């Protein structure tokens, strides 16, 4: 289930909202005719920092734990609220 639901008036507004989320770093996980599910991707770019601070005395165990932290953040469901056009 999505963490957040964003409702749109029409498909054009939905496409603008999806473009905004993609620009913010979200990835499209599924797309339907009147709905899109996006998930936030968190970068894992601090492996070198974790290794320099903790890795030398934990034999790399800290890096393994850091790699196990989920890369995915919240999920957003964007849908056209009035899909039939009425």
Whether the per-residue pLDDT at 85 is higher than 60: the answer is no
In whole angstroms, give the CA distance from residue 29 to residue 23.
Answer: 15
**Residue 45: what pLDDT?**
74
Q: Where do the structural domains in the chain lie, given as residue ranges?
A: 4-80
pLDDT in tens, 44-81: 677 677 777 776 777 777 777 777 776 677 899 999 98
Per-residue confidence band for 1, with pLDDT thresholds at 50, 70 and 90? low
Per the prediction, the chain carries an average pLDDT of 83
Strand order through the sheet with 72-80: 4-8, 72-80, 35-41, 26-31
Q: Exposed e or buried b for every residue in 31-50, given b needs 16+ CB within 10 A?
A: eeebbbbbbbeeeeeeeeeb
The pTM of the full predicted model, rounded to 2 decimals, is 0.66
Residue from 35, 38, 42 nearest 4 by CA: 38
In whole angstroms, give the CA distance from residue 58 to residue 42.
Answer: 25
């Amino acid at each position: 289930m999505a963490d957040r639901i964003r409702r749109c008036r029409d498909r054009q507004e939905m496409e603008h909202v999806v473009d905004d989320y993609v620009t913010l770093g979200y990835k499209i996980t599924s797309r339907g005719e009147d709905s899109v599910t996006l998930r936030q991707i968190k970068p894992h770019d601090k492996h070198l920092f974790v290794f320099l601070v903790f890795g030398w005395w934990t034999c790399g165990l800290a890096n393994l734990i850091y790699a196990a932290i989920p890369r995915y953040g919240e999920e957003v469901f964007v849908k056209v609220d009035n899909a039939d056009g009425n």
